[in-house]
Amino acid sequence: MQLSLDTHLGDSVQPFQRTLRAAIGCTGVGLHSGRKVSLTLRPAAEHVGIVFRRVDLPDQPLIAARWEHIVDTRRNTTLGLPDRPEARVGTVEHLLAALAGSDVDNALIDVDGPEVPIMDGSAAPFVFLVECAGFVTQGAVRRVLEIVRPVRVEDESGSITFLPDLSSVPVYEMDIEFPSSAIRRQHRLVRLVPGAFKRDLARARTFGFVEELDALRDAGLARGGSLDNAVVLRGATVLNVGGLRYTDEFVRHKLLDLIGDLALAGAPLRGRVVARRAGHRLNALALRALFADGTAYRFTPALPACAIRDGIAAPLAAAAAAPV
C-alpha cells in the first residue's frame, strides 16, 4: 500500500513511515575518539527503525538505535551491545536528531569506526545529507509514543518531565543555566512542526570550555574537538571566529541533544517534554523511567486531525493495529 497524504498534512506529524530514497555518505572525525570515520545512510524497510552497523568489525554487528542499548552518557550518547563490548557507536545524538527532525523512521547507518563523525558539531550537515538522499513514503502507518500520564525524573543537576499533550506535534522545552556570562540562563520552547527542526535547531553546535579540555582529554573525550566542530568558550568569551550562529545557540543545542536522545524511544513523541539542565545522562534516565511505567504511555497510530476530518482515520488505525 503506497499512500500519500502530504497535501493534507499541515502542521501534523507524518502519518506514514518514511525512509531515504537513496544511500548517501560522508566522512569526518569522531569528536571524542579523534578517529576518521566514514558514514553511509541507507534506506531500510518498514518497521526496521534506525539501525547502526559497524562495518569494520567481524560479522558487521547491528546496533538498533534504542534506549535499551545506551552504554555511555558521558558528554555523548553511546550505543552498544551488552555481549559484545567492541560493538559500540558513540555520539549518535546529532544524527538521530536530524533523522527525527526530518521524519525518517527507517534507515540503516553504516559506520567504519566507534563514533559518528562530529561534522561541524551540529545536526545541519546530517539534515543536508538526508535531504540530498531524498525521502520515500512507505506503506506502513507510523506509530507515535503518546504520553498519557506525567513522568518525572531528576538528579542533582536537573530534571525532565514528560507530560500528556494532544498537540499534533511534539513539544520540547529546555532551560539551561551556566556561570559563564556568555550563557547564563536560557530557555526555549519548540513545537516540532514540519521545518522547525531545520530552521530553529539544526545549526546549533555543541559547546565546551577551554578550562575543562585537559580533564576531558585525560578521560579519553574531546580528542577530535576543535573550533571547527564546537563552540569553544574561555570564560565569557566565544573563541570561534564568526561568533555564534544563534544568540541562544547553547539552549538550542541542548534541545537538539534532547530530541536526538529521545529518538531512542523508537517512535515520535505525542506529548510535551519539559527539561531543566538536562544532558545525555538524564535523557537516558528519563526514557528508562518512562518505559518502566506501562501506564504512562501507549503506542498509537500517527493520525493527523485532517485524517479524522476526511473520514480516513478508521482504515489507518486498522493498518496500524495489523501485526508487523
Q: Which is nearer to Zn ion, 60 or 226 (CB)?
A: 226
Q: Which is nearer to Zn ion, 244 or 312 (CB)?
A: 244
Among 257, 268, 284, 307, binds Zn ion (CB under 5 A): 257
**Closest CB 225 distance from Zn ion, rounded Å:** 12
Tell me if 206 contacts Zn ion by CB under 5 A: yes
Cell for 232?
A: 569553544
Which position among 32, 69, 253, 280 bears the catalytic label?
A: 280
Q: Give the closest residue to 73 by CA, choosing from 270, 312, 257, 275.
A: 257
Tell me if 175 contacts Zn ion by CB under 5 A: no
CB 143 within 8 A of CB 266: no
**Among 3-11, 194-202, 253-261, 266-274, the segment contacting Zn ion (CB under 5 A):** 253-261
**Among 12-20, 96-104, 198-206, 306-314, the segment contacting Zn ion (CB under 5 A):** 198-206
Tell me if 249 contacts Zn ion by CB under 5 A: no
Cell for 128?
A: 543536508
Q: Could you give the string, one character per residue 77-116, with x where binding to Zn ion holds by CB under 5 A and - elsewhere?
A: ----------------------------------------
- Cα 201 to Cα 207: distance, rounded to the nearest angstrom: 14
**Closest CB 245 distance from Zn ion, rounded Å:** 14
**Closest CB 183 distance from Zn ion, rounded Å:** 15
**Closest CB 304 distance from Zn ion, rounded Å:** 30
**Burial of 262 per CB tally in 10 Å (0-12, 13-18, 19+):** buried
Q: Which is nearer to Zn ion, 138 or 206 (CB)?
A: 206
Alpha helices per DSSP H over the chain: 93-101, 124-133, 196, 213-218, 249-262, 280-292, 305-309, 313-321
- Binding residues for Zn ion, rule CB under 5 A, total 2
- Kindly list the strands in the beta sheet with 269-270, ordered across the sheet, starting from the edge strand earlier in the chain: 269-270, 143-147, 297-301
* 169 Cβ neighbours under 8 A, 6+ residues apart: 11, 12, 13, 191, 192, 193
Per the annotation, the verdict on 280 as an active-site residue is: yes
Positions annotated as catalytic residues are 280
Contact set with Zn ion (CB under 5 A): 206, 257
